[in-house]
Amino acid sequence: MSVRFFLAMLLTVPILKADSVRPIPTAGRSPVIARNGMVAASQPLAAQIGLQILRQGGNAVDAAVATAAALGLMAPMMTGPGGDVFALVYMAKTGELAGLNASGFSPAAANLDYFRERGLESIPVHGASSVTIPGAVDGWATLLERFGSMGLEEVLQPAIRYAEEGFPVSEIFASNWASAGEAFADDAEFTGSYFVNGKPPAHGDVITNKELAWTYRQIAQGGRDAFYEGEIAMRTVERLQELDWPVTAEDLAAQRSDWVEPITTTYKGHRIYELPPNGQGMAALEMLNILEGFDLQSMEHNSAPYVHLFVEAKRLAFADLEAWLADPTRAELPVSTIISKAYGTRQRQRIDPTRAAEDVATGVDSPVRWFGGRGDTVYLTVADKDRNVVSFINSIFHAFGSGIVVPGTGILLQNRGALFSLDPEHPNRIEPRKRPYHTIIPAMAFKDGRPWLSFGVMGGDLQPQGHVQVLLNMIEFGMNVQEAGEAPRASHSPSGGVGLEPGFPDGVTAKLESMGHQVRTAGAMGGYQAIEIDWERGVLIGGSDPRKDGAVAAW
Catalytic amino acids? 377
Bridge partners of residue 378, in order along the sequence: 394
Helix (H) and strand (E) counts in the chain: 20, 21
CA dihedral 428, 433, 439, 443 (to 10 degrees): -120
Query: Residue 176's CB: how many other CB atoms inside 10 A?
Result: 21
Q: How far apart (Å, rounded) are the C-alpha atoms in residues 487 and 477?
A: 11
**Ramachandran angles phi, psi of 24, nearest 5°:** -60, 130
- Helices 341-348/304-324 angle, 10° precision: 120
Alpha carbon 14 to chain centroid, angstroms:
45
Query: Buried b / exposed e across 373-385, counting CB within 10 Å, b at 16+?
Result: bbbbbbbbbbbbb
Q: For residue 478, is it left (φ>0), alpha (ψ between -120 and 50) or beta?
A: left
If you ran DSSP here, which 8-state letter would residue 284 be given? H
Report which of 504, 509, 443 is spatially closest to residue 471, judged by C-alpha positions.
443
Per the CB < 8 A criterion, the answer to whether 532 and 546 are in contact is no
Cα radius of gyration rounded to whole Å, the chain? 23
Q: How far apart (Å, rounded) are the C-alpha atoms in residues 292 and 267?
A: 7
